[in-house]
Chain A
Amino acid sequence: MYEAIAFYLLAAVVAGSAFGCVIATNIVRMALCLLGTLGGVALLYFLMAANFLGVVQLIVYAGGTLIVIVFGVMLTSRAAGVRLRPKRSEALAGTLICIGLLAGLVTLLVRTAWPAAQSEAQAYDVAWLGNELLSTYLVPFEMVSVLLLAVMIGAAFLAQPSGKDKEPEER
């Protein structure tokens, strides 16, 4: 029963914040709504006994990615003619497509008879997850680390001022 109460509460938070992202016209408010979604999803991971994942979601997503996003918003905030409000036709088409897709997906999901749960409430402790990550899933793990290196170099390259508009050195 408690799981149900917790799930519906969290689902309300997640869905409400996601919908807040949809209707917000201010980019910083969208970021706040994203924080609600990310935090709610982290708590959902806790509810699904994936503690490590919930914590990683909080650290990397809410603590890292979201700060980078807010930072980006602040750096680009003075952009002239920021129109977050979509054109009416675009909004209408988007709404129709999304509602159609949602209706289709929900019908599909509810009608599918999923096989019964195999392992009810298995304890996913961190040591087990770490062993899996460094044995069974070692190749994807290494590939992700190479990708992260590439991203780091790429971001550093993109962030350096280009030759034309290099600002004079201030010393």
Chain B
Amino acid sequence: MAEFTTEDALRSRWSAAARPRAVRWFSGLGVVFVLGAAALGLLATRLTGMSYAVALAVAVVLLLTGGSCLGAAVVVQYPRAVGRLLQRLGLPLFLLAVAAIIVVAWAPVLLWPDKPLIVRDVLAVVGAVGFVSLFASFAIWWERKVAGRIQSRLGPMRVGGWHGWAQSIADGLKLFQKEDILPGGGDAVLFRMAAYVTFVPALSLFIALPFSAAWVGRDLDVGLLLIVALFGLGVIGVLLGGWASNNKWSMYGAMREACQVISYEIPLGFSLLIPIMVAGTLRLTTIGELQAGGFWTWLAFRNPFTLIAALTFLIATLASCKRAPFDLPEAESELVAGYMTEYSGFRWALFMFAEYAEMFAAGALTAILFFGAWHSPLPAAWGAAWATGPLWQQALHGVVFSGPLWLIFKGIFFVYVQIWLRWTLPRIRLDQVMHACVQFMLPVTMVVLLAQTFWQLLVPAGSVLAVALNLACTVLGALVALGIASIAVYGLRYRRRLVGTLVVDHLPGS
């Protein structure tokens, strides 16, 4: 069998008639957008103050849109050349894109703290789009690799060279070129809208999600509730999409999603109340800064109730991200692809992007609420001198003590936990989901809520009981972390014995 390469993934899937039309449209739109951006930029030089900033922000967005359109035109017109280019220069281009997105997204937010909020919002959304697309392409590749290893396979190995790292990019370009199919007899308007109804909330929650105390689009005093609300909104897109597909599998997927949502949202809300009660606020940055003093001050390890709440929250977010064992709405072995059955190409990609964005947001939220937010396990106070020192000391402080890197790391770790569970656990039935959520998790979270209330009323912060239980929970958490780490080291050490013989020759280092 011939090697499957990026070039194959890029082979044109456009019909002879559609291709020139698509190229015409994309290049026309791109030129219009770029010209508009240039005009706005020229206009902006004459303006001052707020209007200048707004005009500049709109111009940047227009320029990005126009650039994407022109890029799309080039991809559609010259797929083979683009494929060859990607193969040669893929990795540098990819790294350049990462750097560019981080700069475009976050530099203005940091350098420009008192600029109009609307500008910050626009830039934060641009940054979120960039971050989500990068993260999704990484996480999809990674999920396939992890799934492969769990099943003694290799996962994607061909595209891009090293362990198929470019697989997601090739997939994305392929999806982008696919025909946008509308199911016959379905509701075309709803079908088209549904993907956006899911995608937009999943993306806009990144405005309120803090990456560190300073790296946040908008530090709202209701930030936590806003993120949870936007989590809930995406569900409606799933329902509408399943309904509009006019397909019984999609319909079953949508109905299951509706049942599941009604079941998991209550325990989710109840377990959210625990960190809110401890911190006394809904502001996420305050909750995060509460956990700055080393990993024994992380909220999950405060007392046994917060630990239980952290676990129930983790389970509930698993359900809200539609991940196994709660992946009933998608259920690829029963319902084809559930609510996504009829979706193809770009709209399908939107659903996938929304899913991975929600996965990261759920992981980051778990980290912020229970596992030390953007702080490393070391107390941030130890590095206080570095935080105000010269730039290199600040950078070192960000890596060692607290910074966005830690939040991203923790978010990715929880995404890994979700992937791990998905490929390990079997899917449970719908009645089991409802039973687990309503008859097990709901009472548990309610009891925990009551217990935490009494704890806060009756047990003073520095008392012997509080310190002892804090210590016990911390030791338990440390043991679990050590266990996971030792299993990982064992797996790496004896990977040749653990993985099937078929793949041994392809493992790195052989």
Contacts and interface: CB of A to CB of B under 8 A. Distances in A.
A and B touch in the complex (CB under 8 A): yes
Interface of A: 2, 26, 28-29, 31-32, 35, 39, 51-52, 54-56, 58-59, 62-64, 66-68, 70-71, 74, 125-127
Contact of B258 (A2, A39, A67): A67
B240 A28 contact: yes
Given A26-B187, A62-B232, A63-B233, A32 B240 contact: yes
Given A55-B229, A56-B225, A74-B254, 15 more contacts: A28-B187, A28-B243, A32-B193, A39-B233, A51-B222, A52-B225, A55-B225, A58-B230, A68-B262, A70-B236, A71-B239, A74-B243, A74-B255, A74-B258, A127-B281
Say whether chain A's binding surface is mostly helix, strand, loop, or mixed.
Answer: helix
7 contacts: A28-B190, A35-B197, A67-B232, A71-B258, A74-B243, A74-B254, A74-B258
Nearest to A127: B281
A58 B227 CA distance: 10
B222 A63 contact: no
Contacts of B290: none
A39 to B, nearest CB: 8
Contact of B229 (A31, A62, A68): A62
Nearest to B269: A59
Interface string B194-235: 000100000000000000000000001110011011101101
A136 B322 CA distance: 42
B222 A52 contact: yes
Contacts of B282: 126
Given A2-B118, A51-B221, A74-B243, A67 B236 contact: yes
B244 interface: yes
A2 B57 CA distance: 15
Nearest to A63: B232
**Top 7 closest pairs, chain A to chain B, by CB:** A63-B232, A58-B229, A55-B225, A59-B229, A71-B258, A55-B222, A51-B222
B492 interface: no
B258 A58 contact: no
A167 B336 CA distance: 29
B279 interface: no
B258 A70 contact: yes
Contacts of A56: 225
B265 interface: yes
Contact of A67 (B235, B251, B281): B235
Interface in B229-275: 229-230, 232-233, 235-236, 239-240, 243-244, 251, 254-255, 258, 261-262, 265
Nearest to A73: B243
Contacts of B189: 29
B226 A67 contact: no
B233 A29 contact: no
A58 B200 CA distance: 14
A31 B197 CA distance: 12
B226 A66 contact: no
A59 B235 CA distance: 12
Contact of A59 (B116, B232, B239, B254): B232
Contacts of B230: 58
A125 B221 contact: yes
Nearest to A77: B243
Contacts of B228: 59
B236 A62 contact: yes
- Find the residue from A62, A63, A125, A127 having the highest chain B CB count within 10 A: A63
A66 B236 CA distance: 8
A67 B263 CA distance: 12
A51 B190 CA distance: 30
A62 B255 contact: no
Interface string B278-317: 0001100000000000000000000000000000000000
